Chains A and B, each alone.
Chain A
Amino acid sequence: MTTLSREETEALIAEVLEVYPEKAKKDRTKHLAVNDQTIEQSKKCITSNRKSLPGVMTIRGCAYAGSKGVVWGPIKDMIHISHGPVGCGQYSRAGRRNYYVGTTGVDTFGTMNFTSDFQEKDIVFGGDKKLAKLIEEVEQLFPLHKGISVQSECPIGLIGDDIEGVAKKSAAAIGKPIVPVRCEGFRGVSQSLGHHIANDAIRDWVLDKRDGQPFEGTPYDVAIIGDYNIGGDAWATRIILEEMGLRVVSQWSGDGTIAEMMNSPRVKLNLLHCYRSMNYISRHMEEKYGIPYLEYNFFGPTKIIESLKKIADFFDDTVKEKTAAVIARYQPMMDDIINKYKPRLQGKKVMLYVGGLRPRHVIGAYEDLGMEVIGTGYEFGHNDDYDRTIKEMGDATLLYDDVTGFELEEFVKKLKPDMVGSGIKEKYIFQKMGIPLRQMHSWDYSGPYHGYDGFAIFARDMDIALSSPVFGNLVPPWKKAVVEEVKKAA
């Protein structure tokens, strides 16, 4: 395909929106835009963080998903109780592949599901007693846990249970922190509010609990914030930071512990990867403890080098020297990867539709491989995300916010990218259309993709997807013969 001009892209949006009723069309128009790099502020061209339109397919999650699934879930030595009916916890259990070290069921609980399994009588008479009993049982069965978080599901807010009261009382009884999180699924328009609520719960119940206690710090202490260790991402990140001479005090929250979180206010710099889900706590630490935060991007060598230099600027010359050495050491490896895969991937077009940080962060990695991102969008991004995206994307490319199933399908049919990066819900639709898809939520059961080690895997995975012979065989042989006959006749 050829690259579309601005007018053609605008016409494409208008054409796709044609099928909607008048009111829906007006609403959806605001969420679709053609990228214009001259615009400083995204709100001039795209609206985001609004309620999804009833009746169209959205792939957004709920506040509970944002809190339990994203922010709290990966904290490995805590027990996260899904307080409410059994389904919310069970169907999201262990699906996100946030790796951790530890013995599951003994001192770590990452892939386990704890739930209060609400029945009719709990809705009628309230579930506070059940919660208190559950906490007692958990303490007996899993004595090595370091704390409990109570993740509310929808009914808790609807019937008005006092989980804060139970949490305070039970925490005193077992002598461990218990954090009530008011992340009922009906709150807000997407999982984004769940991130915010979870951040606020950490701020109020966890962060300041070790203030004033002795801590042996160094001038090189940093915290990795907003890295959920999907497929081992945070480990790949940590390797590089430690080679730079920094000491990683805490990981938020992939492979993280509650003790690490309590120690975070002592670090010198917060390294923020997923801006969307953890900017709240970073802002809080900047204000209360004077710890600056720095957004970085560890996808693809170009962005890694850029980020490493930015990080090193915060520290003294020894770190700067070590950083230069790290960059020099990995450069030949990166050159090898690019030399191997770039000729195979050069000029291929990608469309992305994911959440969090990836719609803008992975663009650099694709560009390092000679590929081009022709459309991108966030599930639950806000204006500040789009502000940052406009600069990363090429002119006249497509931006879509909370895109509906129909729109995304139509865009892909019209733009014909060589590959789509999205999630499991989109995967088989597009693969049946003959377009390879890599899941960019869970790295398609691969990973890590962060850091230098991750880039090697990223490049290999993209090559596997694009070079698979499967996609050349989508037309069955009997139909193929007809196609060729028609060609001959013509």
Chain B
Amino acid sequence: MANIMIQSDAKGGLVFYLPKRDLEASIESIEFDTPEKWGGELKLDNGGTYYIDPIAKPPRLPISLRARRLGAAED
């Protein structure tokens, strides 16, 4: 489990930020994206995948969450 931060970028997409490794990557797809259920599997543009427990859609970004790594990004 790792602390991560999700924020929105200038174009309206989502950006994933992992402070521990100073890793910044944009999120290509998010499993659930409805007002009641938001989260699940996150696919990053660097090839990594992370999982966050689905929650109600946060009213404001950025938000800090706990995430589990499913697949590592290639270096």
| Residues on B with beta carbons closer than 8 Å to the beta carbon of A283 | 5, 7, 17, 62
Asked, given contacts A196-B22, A383-B24, whether A290 binds B60 with beta carbons under 8 Å apart, the answer is: yes
Dominant SS at the A interface? Answer: helix
The answer on a CB contact under 8 Å between A287 and B64 is yes
Considering the complex, give the chain A residue whose CB is closest to the CB of B17: A283
| Contact in complex: A287, B22 (CB < 8 Å) | no
A287 close to B45 (CB less than 8 A): no
- Is A287 a contact of B19 with CB atoms below 8 Å? no
Q: Is the CB of A49 within 8 A of B45?
A: no
Chain A residues closer than 8 Å to B45, beta-carbon distance: 41
B21 to chain A, nearest CB (A): 9
Q: Which residues of A contact B64 (CB under 8 A)?
A: 287
Q: How large is the interface on A (under 10, 10 to 19, 20 to 34, 35 or more residues)?
A: 10 to 19
B46 interface hit (Cβ, 8 Å): yes
Q: In whole angstroms, how far apart are the Cα atoms of A72 and B45 in the complex?
A: 35
Using C-beta atoms within 8 Å of the partner chain, give the interface range for chain B. Answer: 10 to 19
Q: Is A280 an interface position by the 8 A CB rule? A: yes
A40-60 contact mask (Cβ, 8 Å, vs B): 1 or 0: 010100010100000000000
A49 to B46 Cα, complex, angstroms: 16
Once bound together, how far apart are the Cα atoms of A214 and B63, in whole Å?
27
With a CB–CB cut-off of 8 A, which chain B residues contact A196? Answer: 19, 22
Closest Cβ of chain B: how far from A265's Cβ, in Å? 15
Residues of chain A from 157 to 192 with CB closer than 8 A to chain B in the complex: 192
Task: Kindly identify which residue among A286, A290, A384 contacts B24, using a CB–CB cutoff of 8 Å.
Answer: A384
Task: List chain A residues, Cβ under 8 A from B60.
Answer: 290
Report A-chain residues with C-beta under 8 Å of the C-beta of B24. Answer: 382-384
Q: Would you call A287 and B63 a contact (CB within 8 A)?
A: yes
Bound CA–CA A43/B75 (angstroms): 9
Asked whether A43 and B46 contact (CB < 8 A) given A196-B22, A287-B63, the answer is: yes
B46 touches A287 (CB 8 A): no
CA distance A300 to B63 in the complex (A): 35
Distance between Cα atoms of A41 and B44 in the complex (Å):
13
**B5 touching A49 by the CB < 8 A rule?**
no
15 further A-B pairs in the complex, CB-CB below 8 A; given A287-B63, A383-B23? A41-B45, A43-B46, A47-B75, A192-B22, A196-B19, A283-B17, A283-B62, A286-B7, A286-B62, A287-B5, A287-B62, A287-B64, A290-B60, A383-B24, A384-B24
Using CB atoms and an 8 Å cutoff, list the residues of chain A in contact with chain B. Answer: 41, 43, 47, 49, 192, 196, 280, 283, 286-287, 290, 382-384
Interface residues of B (CB under 8 A from A): 5, 7, 17, 19, 22-24, 45-46, 60, 62-64, 75
11 A–B contacts from the bound complex (CB under 8 Å): A41-B46, A43-B46, A283-B5, A283-B17, A286-B62, A287-B63, A287-B64, A382-B22, A382-B24, A383-B23, A384-B24
